[in-house]
Structure formats: C-alpha cells, structure tokens
Amino acid sequence: MNLHAMIPIPGDLHARYNRDSAGRDWLASLPGLISEALDRWGLSVDLVPGDEPWNGHGALVVPVVQGSTPAALKIAYPHEEALVERYALALWSGRGAVRLLASDDASCTMLLERLDASRWLQDAPLDEARDAWGAIMRELSIQPDERVEWRVLDHVAATAERWSDELPAEWDRLDRPFPRWLLEAALEVCQTRGAVGRRSGKDVLVHTDLHFMNILATTSAEKLSLRGDYLAIDPQPQIGEAEFAVAPILWNRIRDLPRTDPEAGLLERCQDFSRAAGLDPDVARQWSIAREVQNALWYAAKPRHSGDLARSLWVASTLAGNRLDALPRAHDLPDPGEAA
C-alpha cells in the first residue's frame, strides 16, 4: 500500500488550488512529490493516521523523521517567493530562522528542521511578541557577502521603482478605488525610500513576510541552544532596508489594538516593534504605507477581498495621518485571509 499517497490534503489548501488547471495539476502531483522526497532523503512520515499535515498559504508541510531526527518536508506550489526561499534560509543558516537541511529545486521541495507548529507568536501576548520579533529581526538582518545565493534575490529599491509605475496605472485601471492623496503618499515613499535604499549602503537580507504566524516556537531540544525560543519561517526574501519588514506586524492582530484609540495604538505598535529591532520607526511607517497601498490595489481587483481592502486602506491611511471616510471600525476589520 502506498502510504504516502494517503496523506490527506488540508481542505483550505485544496480549495485554494482547485480553482484553476495549474493548481489542480499541482494538487494531483503531491502524492508523487511526497514519495520522491521520502525516497531521496530517506524519510518516514511522522503523522498519526487520520491527522492532516500542516500547510501555509502556498505549501504542504509533512512532519517526517530522518533516521531518528524529526524534520519537516515542505512542498511549495512553484511561485516566485517559494523558488527563492531556500536561498535565504541557506544564507541565514539557522540564524533567527528555521534551518534548511536539504532542498530540491526542480520540485520546489525543502527538508527543514522541525519546529513546534502548535505555538506561534499569533497567540503570544504582544509584549512577548514584540521582544521575540525584535530579537529575530536583529538576527535575520545580515549584510550581503560573496556567497552566490545573494545574486538571485531582488532589491527592495527595485520593488519601489516598479511600484512607482505600476501603482498609478493600476489605480486608474481599477477606477480609482481610494483617494488620490493616499496613492500619492505611497508614491512619495517609493521615490524617496527607493533612492535612499540604493545609496545608503545599509542593505540587509529582509524577511518581507515576518508576521506573527510566520514565527514558530523552537522545540524543547532547541531551547537548550542559544537560538532563542522562536524562529522565522516562509521568508519571501529581498535585499534592502530592514524597515521594509515591519508592515506585516501592523496589518495583523488589529483587534489587539486598544479600542479607545486604535489609530494611536497602530502608530505606537510601529514605534515599539521597530525600536525592539533597532530600526527607525518613521522609515518603517513610510514603507508600511507603500506596502499597504500596493496590497489595497491587489485586493481592489478581487471583489471577494472587500474586507481585506478595507483593512489595508485603514492601515495605510492611519499611518499616513489622514482617516478615510466610510471604513469599518478597526475592530470590525477582518484578519488577513479571513474574508477570502
């Protein structure tokens, strides 16, 4: 009996990739990819019969054992961020992030150290989350060197230059879904921070998706090491100003902001998390405006993401210092992915 072919696909992952032929083809390929990886690296599945493996937005993660060592087999849908993830993990080499044990480029498959998937910063008190996030950011912010992996990573400044052209074109194409002043605020960030980023000489490796759910607890064995209680996963890496990484902390856990003045709470969170990581809070605020305007335009093109659009507009306008009318109250906004 082909036991690995019986590994169930989590329902949300199946629903997400069952919408088009490319996604359905990938879902159909998963049993074969799992089987090949088990054979390639001498793995056995460490999953209780009937339990589902873990998954993120774009990957299946199967708990496995290599010899007597617990590990995690990650098979990602082939997309741009997934294709470069292994290079960032190799550069970090376990410093602040999950350790890469092996990878296969052709199948977009990685063998990773096993973290505690039941504990993440999403559930931690915010002061604990702030300190852990700041410590991880300091570890992840390594400077470029001669290793070849750096050559495949995009630069944040190049992203900003691309957005300078793409954001106004998309805003027009979508019939101007929010006021022009907010678009202009994002474009100003792209032009100023993009230019500064090219000149500053402060480039680091940036985890661009470092939100609370992408930081997992280390296992009890790892707690004996000096690596800390939490490590980052799923980096979506770029090179550039470290402050680019702050935005996902602001657009997640909005309901944890104070009800009396959530706008002030959001700005305070930006300052607190930035300072915990040794970053410039105002630079972080600026990059977060641009990133949320870009997100808002992506959501505006998809009617089923109206709640996500409202959240992005609330965050961007609050950071820009000017409220937009007709948005839901902060605590009525959906969490990322909740409205999809």
Catalytic (active-site) positions: 209
Q: 123: which DSSP letter?
A: G
Rounded to whole angstroms, the Cα distance separating 261 from 269 reads: 12
Could you tell me which of 137, 308, 108 has the C-alpha nearest to residue 215? 137
What is the three-class DSSP state of 122?
helix
| Tokens standing for residue 281 | 């809070």
> Can you tell me which residue has the tokens 């470092």?
210
On the CB side of 245, CA atoms within 13 Å amount to 35
Could you tell me which of 186, 230, 177, 236 has the C-alpha nearest to residue 207? 236
Q: Which string of DSSP letters, residue by residue, matches 145-183?
A: -S-GGGGGSPBHHHHHHHHHHHHHHHHHHTT--S-HHHH
Rounded to whole angstroms, the Cα distance separating 292 from 164 reads: 14
Amino acid at 91: L
Rounded to whole angstroms, the Cα distance separating 81 from 83 reads: 6
What is the three-class DSSP state of 226?
coil
Give the helix/strand (H/E) hosting 75. Answer: strand 69-76
Q: Are 130 and 214 spatial neighbours (Cβ–Cβ below 8 Å)? A: no
44, β-bridge pairs: 65
Rounded to whole angstroms, the Cα distance separating 54 from 216 reads: 13
Binning the chain into helix, strand and coil, the percentages to the nearest 5 are: 55, 15, 30
Could you tell me which of 260, 266, 254 has the C-alpha nearest to residue 335? 254
